[in-house]
Chain A
Amino acid sequence: MEIDLSQFSQVFFEESLEGLASMESELLKLEVNEPDDESINTIFRAAHSIKGGSATFGFTQVADYTHLLETLLDEIRDGRRQMTTDHQDMLLLSVDLLRNMIDALMRKVDFADPLLAQLETRFTAALAQNSSESEEEQSVTESSSGESSPQNTTWIIDFQPGIDILRCGNDPSLMFNELRLLGELEVTLVDSTLPDFSDMDPEACYLNWQLALVTDKPLEQIKEVFEWVEDECTINYHQETDAPVKEQAEEAGTPANTEASPSTEVIAKPKAVTPAKTPEGGSIRVSIEKIDLLINMVGELVITQAMLGQIGQQDTIDEESLLSMKQGLEQLASHTRDLQESVMQIRMLPISFAFNRFPRLVRDIGQQLGKQVELILKGEDTELDKTVMEKIVDPMVHLVRNSLDHGLETPEVRVSKGKPEQGSITLNAFHQGGNIIIEIIDDGAGLDTQLIHKKAIDKGLVTEDEELSEDAIHQLIFKAGFSTAEAVSDLSGRGVGMDVVRRNIHELNGTIELKSTKDKGSRFTIRLPLTLAILDGQLVRVGQHTYVVPLVSIHESLQVEEQRINRISENHELVRLREEYLPVVKVFQEFGHDADFQEIRDGLVMVVDSNNEKIGLLVDELLSQQQVVIKSLEDNYSKVPGVSGATILGDGTVALIIDISGLVTLAGIANMKEHAA
């Protein structure tokens, strides 16, 4: 049968990656000195499944490598080998290596990493040490080469099945059928061992047979027929002319597995011709529950549609049908909303997918820095859109590294401050309104207010005489240009500053806040929309055009009197709002069209957040607030500065979604504030 095995590859990749993830988290939890049986079992099973799958689907490199892991784990599992930290390290490194191997397979590129050879050597060395098990693989060649001549031979087989042979689902008649495929068979029943009728157990097998098989096949192949039962049965083979060749139960294990070797050969040949689907775009596993809900929803929609359709067919619309039409439309609206929600649900994954990588990260970095850290994960079930998840991981990694590197103190320092030696980092996720909140909390030293202030002055980010609250000083770390080489250690820095973290979060239409208390620790709070596919927006009108401003960025909207407006230059104006001066961007000007109100005093100023600073947007009128479905301009047209996407409104017109920080850059007002004073 021709079955294209590559159709199962994608599923194999996905489950292997899942297996690796659970392997990793179990390995990290593991108390090396007294490993938990269940953990070891889980780790073993993961390695075992990957090995089985990769061998079956033809990924020999993965299969060969996981075989080493499996052997080691099997010995640990059976208590034949003591687990060590070295084993733990090797296995953790293997998780990384296997991830890369699978990644290479998914991308269909060759995998070459010197680590592979290194680890293989380490495994082989570890396995060679005091292994209480001798070679597990016996040589299969108990050669019967003499008999493999293509001439017909008559084999006499005395077959005395064990009394329980039927009770394990084996049926002698099926074996005889199989023998018939090898040649000409004659079966003689030997019923001499039948007990008295009264002693007979109807489920037992008391019969023996003598078989005569004329075949050109080697003895090995004949023995294979009895492979499953040879332990329980007595089987003698002899050639009609020859002396009997004794083959008994005690000698079991000789024909260990004759199937295995040919099969690996068959499978090892890569299926070069069949171009499998590329894993591009990725896939997602969805619970049946969610799918059921969707199917229900669609069912409801169809019913509503039928109902409306019926009304549509009537020639005249009386009051009654008008009423039911209204009802139908209401239903339609509610079902559509529900349907949208359920569809969105499909993309939702628990944030544990993102959290899972942190135990490893924290362990490794903690070790490297000589710090004792406990990682606490909360709200792991909180669900979040897959695309948001992918994009939030990097900023989170950065913040956690930062907490480890700059936040947490060394054990000695902690003790001297009267704190426990072990510090803690907490990752917490929860829903609030239509947002997900992710907190990264440490109980470390907190930010050094004086140092930051001094550095900000050195960098020219603030002036010396500027009065700043402690909190305001802390916010300075988000400023572009704050992070420099000297602040960047090889760990947390990677040359990326907090301004980049903040920018990445802003690109997701999210915000980040920071609270820090000296010697108590810091808390970063990231607020993100649940999905990138829809957005809570405020519609605004500017001239003939409608724009969408992300609701999360909006502080307030106001009309500004003349005396609070400060003109700095031709195109740059500031508005005094309470104690602050805000630069104002005239939206119509930046997008180059007309507007009802071209002067700040006539129009409406919408105060919005841009990179943690407030700016004003001059618009004509506020329209409604609504959820909009985001369409990518980049995909459908091209990137437009100042615009993050587009949406289609109820009346079919297209509204652009304003990218506030992009607009600020476009307007060139980034540093206008300094001119204010």
Chain B
Amino acid sequence: MKKILAVDDSASMRQMVGFTLKTAGFDVTEACDGDEALKAAQGGEFDLVISDVNMPVMDGLTLIRNLRTLPAYKFTPLLMLTTESGVDKKHEGRSAGATGWIVKPFNPDQLLATVRKVLG
């Protein structure tokens, strides 16, 4: 079973993402900010990390930058959850090492389609 780490400071989004992915048969761990996510990622290997961008303590871009420095996450798909439609943010995310993004709002089907896109 593929392991996914879902990071969002909003409990409802986290629940929705978590629920959708679990229902689709993924093993999901949830974290409520970048710091918590980084700790979780160091504690176990995930096949995919989906992270919100704006979060307290550690934001999503910093998380992605940090993850990319870890050998275990060198090639792991890291997706940003973003409402930012501007090109800037995506570009910033890409240079931080993000694989891609999912633009909020999205529905469960769109989320799963994107996840399958990177998990093959």
Contacts and interface: CB of A to CB of B under 8 A. Distances in A.
Contacts of B20: 1, 3
Interface magnitude class on chain B: 35 or more
A193 to B, nearest CB: 21
B16 A8 contact: yes
20 contacts: A1-B108, A1-B112, A7-B19, A8-B15, A8-B19, A11-B15, A44-B54, A45-B55, A49-B10, A53-B10, A53-B13, A168-B68, A169-B76, A169-B77, A170-B99, A174-B118, A177-B120, A232-B94, A257-B103, A260-B85
B12 A174 contact: no
Contacts of A11: 11-12, 15
Contact of A63 (B105, B106, B110): B105
Interface in B1-45: 9-13, 15-16, 19-20, 23-24
Contacts, number: 131
B117 A263 contact: no
A52 B97 contact: no
Contacts of B109: 1
Given A44-B54, A177-B120, A257-B85, A228 B100 contact: yes
Q: Which of A52, A53, A169, A232 gathers most chain B CB within 10 Å?
A: A169
Contacts of A245: none
A81 B108 CA distance: 36
A266 B107 contact: yes
Given A1-B112, A45-B55, A166 B10 contact: no
B77 to A, nearest CB: 4
Contacts of A44: 54
A462 interface: no
A227 B104 contact: no
B56 A42 contact: yes
A169 B68 CA distance: 9
B15 to A, nearest CB: 5
B83 A178 contact: no
A56 B102 CA distance: 12
A231 interface: yes
A231 B100 contact: no
Given A1-B109, A167-B74, A168-B97, A52 B104 contact: yes
Interface string B70-110: 00001111100101011100010010011111111111111
A56 B23 contact: no
A228 B101 contact: yes
Q: Sorted from nearest, which 3 A-B pairs have the closest CB atoms?
A: A228-B100, A55-B105, A169-B99
Given A3-B20, A137-B85, A170 B100 contact: yes
Nearest to A224: B117
B10 to A, nearest CB: 4
Contacts of A166: 75
Contacts of A228: 94, 99-101
A264 interface: yes
B13 A56 contact: yes
Given A48-B83, A168-B94, A174-B118, A259 B13 contact: no
Interface string A160-195: 000000111111011001100000000000000000
Nearest to A262: B110
A123 interface: no
Nearest to B77: A169
Contacts of B104: 52, 55-56
A288 to B, nearest CB: 13
A19 to B, nearest CB: 8
Contacts of B85: 136-137, 256-257, 260
A51 interface: yes
Given A169-B97, A263-B103, 9 more contacts: A1-B24, A12-B12, A15-B11, A52-B52, A53-B13, A168-B97, A169-B78, A203-B74, A228-B94
A309 interface: no
Q: Which of B11, B19, B77, B105 gathers most chain A CB within 10 Å?
A: B105
Nearest to B24: A1
A495 interface: no
Interface string A1-30: 101010111011011000000000000000
A171 B52 CA distance: 22
A203 B74 CA distance: 9
Contacts of A57: 12, 16
A136 B88 CA distance: 10
B107 A167 contact: no
A14 to B, nearest CB: 8
A267 interface: yes
A169 B115 CA distance: 13
A44 B97 CA distance: 24
A260 B16 contact: no
A177 B116 CA distance: 11
B61 to A, nearest CB: 13
Q: Which of B10, B81, B109 gathers most chain A CB within 10 Å?
A: B10
Contacts of B78: 168-169
A166 to B, nearest CB: 6
B88 to A, nearest CB: 9
A169 B118 contact: yes
Contacts of B75: 166-167, 169, 171
A253 interface: yes
Contacts of B91: 231, 252
B93 to A, nearest CB: 9
